[in-house]
A and B are shown apart, each in its own frame.
Chain A
Amino acid sequence: AQSVTQLGSHVSVSEGALVLLRCNYSSSVPPYLFWYVQYPNQGLQLLLKYTSAATLVKGINGFEAEFKKSETSFHLTKPSAHMSDAAEYFCAVSDQPSNTGKLIFGQGTTLQVKP
């Protein structure tokens, strides 16, 4: 069975500092991996996805993530945090090979950006 673990339920950074949100996955097959962002009382918005192409994936709003098979990780980074990045971030893995499209989510990481 697939699973996702997000290390750190809360991360606080200063504006302009590096953002690093950690995600480790468990999967018996090559995974499809995703990062979503959720602003208060809103749905989830896709930031980026990894589907077995390039291991470094660039997404929206300056975020990127690197798939590292040897470490079973898919950490999300952004070189310089902006106040508008404050939100909750979810890492997810897709349920291959059944291909129902179900996503298994981590518990989420709340990103706080301090001025």
Chain B
Amino acid sequence: DIQMTQSPSTLSASVGDRVTITCRASQSISSWLAWYQQKPGKAPKLLIYKASSLESGVPSRFSGSGSGTGFTLTITSLQPDDFATYYCQQYNTYPATFGQGTKVEIK
């Protein structure tokens, strides 16, 4: 299975900060990567698919980039609603696998 590694595991930031989360795949996955946001006790929510395509209804302060084995999720101007855990997921190779998550905390 393809291993997905996210960094950092935890990130402390303030409202208005620019935040970047990294996701690395153990082998090339082209651009077949999705990003999800999860709040405590809630289901994950799709933010980005195919590495950089914004899901309908997701604020434009979220963006994704990368290809091959390295990817980033960027949140420009962090908002109070953005404090959550973020997961990447590859869907290039069966089975789909997720990163371990990055928790964005209030600084």
Chain B binds chain A: no
Residues in chain B within 8 A of chain A (CB atoms): none
Residues on A close to B: CB < 8 A? none
